[in-house]
Amino acid sequence: MDSCEDTATLEWWANRSTCLGRFRVRFEVRAAGGNWTCAATFEPPLTAEGREGFDFLMHLDPCFTLRSDDMGALFVGVAEAGVEGRLILTAAETDVDEPSGARQLPHQ
């Protein structure tokens, strides 16, 4: 089993020019065969205000941009794992029917 651990930023973009939230996370990707899993935790842990903002954005749409200095950016689905501050990340695709500029990965 191969794994990679690093820090990154989860970003929630309303459109190509407006980022409504940025959250630092430490993530770990594990690969075995053709399958992979990715988990993340907030680093540092969220303040009460940060938690409120994150919860609000998750309620709107649980898709974020995971941006890492080493690996670029990836559009991911985010789910809370039931353990405080632990997240499960999955690869996400944008809806081809969305209007141009709506919830798409910003230019790099």
pLDDT tens for 53-101 read 999 999 999 999 999 988 789 899 999 998 778 999 998 876 544 443 4
Interval 1-49: pLDDT, tens: 588 899 999 999 999 899 999 999 999 998 878 888 899 999 999 999 9
3-state secondary structure of 3: strand
Q: Are 25 and 8 in contact (CB under 8 A)?
A: yes
Q: Positive or negative, the Cα torsion across 67, 39, 77, 94?
A: positive
What residues does each domain of the chain span?
Answer: 2-91
Pairwise CA distance, residues 57 & 2, whole Å? 32
